[in-house]
Chains A and B, each alone.
Chain A
Amino acid sequence: DAGVIQSPRHEVTEMGQEVTLRCKPISGHNSLFWYRQTMMRGLELLIYFNNNVPIDDSGMPEDRFSAKMPNASFSTLKIQPSEPRDSAVYFCASSPGPETDTQYFGPGTRLTVL
């Protein structure tokens, strides 16, 4: 199994630009999570999906952030427009489902907004 796949691994962009992060969960997993990690705020849950449906997006910081999961094998996290304070490592994680708790993290995308 390839594990959770994220792309790009690194992204450098300028303030005001649109950024799209991508995630492919482990095949057969029904739950998908987006986290943001910074030194100041640690690991924060942004949004999670179950069976492609957003369940809780209370962690999404602002309207500039949006996430979609059009099918069971793909999700995107979009930031538009990006700001320097969005610089962080963004992790995607997947889990077999709500009755199975273990979450498996992807390698992360390091985002730098100049």
Chain B
Amino acid sequence: GENVEQHPSTLSVQEGDSAVIKCTYSDSASNYFPWYKQELGKRPQLIIDIRSNVGEKKDQRIAVTLNKTAKHFSLHITETQPEDSAVYFCAAIPGGGYNKLIFGAGTRLAVHP
């Protein structure tokens, strides 16, 4: 079945720096890759997603890239702010129908003022 690996597990940056989180997946038929942000004590919230027919997608300071050949995708946050501090999860939907999400282990991002 699908397996999603996420790195790094923790990431510490200074305010204004960029942050990059990387994920790899195993099922070449996977076709949907969302990123969720979870603040302490809150629910995971979708921040951006990308589908297998797109290589890159950007939304203000957040961007996601997808390399289908290498089976990896990345989250890029530019001009980080303290409110970006949270745990970020990548996920993938394996092929075969139905939108069953397989999550990575999460990255705890700390943005220091």
Which residues of A approach B to under 8 Å, CB–CB? Answer: 31, 33, 42-45, 48, 50, 55-56, 91, 95, 98, 100-108
Contact = CB atoms under 8 A, between A and B. Distances in A.
B57 interface: no
Contacts of B49: 101-102
A105 B97 contact: no
Interface size class of B (residues with CB under 8 A): 20 to 34
Contacts of A44: 103
A56 B43 contact: no
13 contacts: A31-B98, A42-B89, A42-B104, A42-B106, A45-B100, A45-B101, A45-B103, A55-B100, A101-B32, A103-B34, A103-B99, A104-B46, A105-B45
Interface of B: 32, 34, 36, 42-46, 49, 51, 89, 93, 97-106
Given A50-B98, A104-B46, 5 more contacts: A42-B105, A101-B51, A105-B36, A105-B43, A107-B43
Contacts of B100: 33, 45, 48, 55-56
Contacts of B51: 101
Contacts, number: 54
A31 B98 CA distance: 9
Contact of B93 (A50, A91, A101): A101
Contacts of A104: 46
B89 A43 contact: yes
Contacts of B93: 101
Nearest to A4: B43
A24 B97 CA distance: 24
